Amino acid sequence: MGNLNTVRGFLLDMDGVLYRGMEVRPGARELIEHLNEHAIPYLCLTNNATRTAEEYGQKLARLGIPIPGERVLGTAETTAKWLAKQAPGATVFVIGTEGLKHELGARGLRLVETSGADFVVVGLDPALTYHKLEVATHAIFRGARFVGTNPDATFPGANGLSPGCGAILAALETATGTRPVIIGKPEPIIFREALRRLGLPPEAVAMVGDRLDTDILGGQRMGLTTVLVLGGVTAPEELETSPIRPDYVFEHLLDLLTAWREGKA
């Protein structure tokens, strides 16, 4: 079981924790200002693959949350790095946004629009069409390796929960009978990269998120202290019945900051 008193650095989910849509969550600015002021290691760890780290930095700046892009690690970047290491110069058919495509192309992967690709990479795609699903299905049947940036079935938007990358993966898995390799939380690939960047051992890091099945489960598997923030994806009634139990539960990030500072006093 994790302990806040041993925590010297943080991994922070973004959607549903720092903000929801374009609304800043309570305590987000105060927490980040404290971490910045006291040079406490932290990294924003998001499963969302729709933006590059630079684009996330720009969004955070618009929201008045002082986090530079280099402190953001998303599944678009992590997927691109992993894929470039696995198969340099491979061809990739992408279901996803321009942010994901940019990260893949920047690492020497060749983006194609045909079913002859070496890999099918799937992220959240607001412009999803049947044609894209058809090309991806044919590619997987022809032997393309199936990669999902993240398994999130939904994500918290300004108007409530909306279909996420996991919903698209489910359609392709149903069509092909093939399970994807998952890069993001709760799988270890993104956590290993995040811990490497922080330069801290797992027992000194807290994972702060709003999803039990990705943030909390993934953090537990890696030996991190886990903190659930309410008001995002996980409702209190789900928390009561779920077998996944976070080490700590807080209404807001300000409550987390207060508890952590008191433990350090």
Total length of the chain? 265
Question: C-alpha distances in angstroms, 29 versus 37, 67, 253?
Answer: 12, 9, 9
Q: What is the DSSP letter of 78?
A: H
1-10+36-41+199-252+260-265 and 76-182: identical CATH topology: yes
Residue 265: the pLDDT is 44
76-182 belongs to CATH 3.40.50.1000: yes
The pTM score is 0.89
Annotated domain spans of the chain: 1-10+36-41+199-252+260-265, 76-182
> Catalytic residues, which ones?
13, 15
Residue 182: the pLDDT is 97
Q: Which amino acid is located at 263 in the chain?
A: G
Other CB atoms within 10 A of residue 110 CB: 12
Residue 232: the pLDDT is 78
Q: What is the DSSP letter of 25?
A: P
Strands of 137-187 (E only): list them: 145-148, 154-157, 160-163, 181-182
Nearest to 48 by CA among 14, 84, 92, 93: 14
Q: What is the DSSP letter of 204?
A: G
Q: Domain 1-10+36-41+199-252+260-265, what fold?
A: Rossmann fold (3.40.50)
Residue 157: the pLDDT is 66
Q: What angle do CA 45, 48, 216 make, to 5 degrees?
A: 50
pLDDT along the chain (265 residues), means of 10: 90 92 91 95 92 88 90 95 96 96 97 96 97 98 97 80 93 98 96 96 96 95 96 82 94 93 70
In whole angstroms, give the CA distance from residue 183 to residue 160: 25
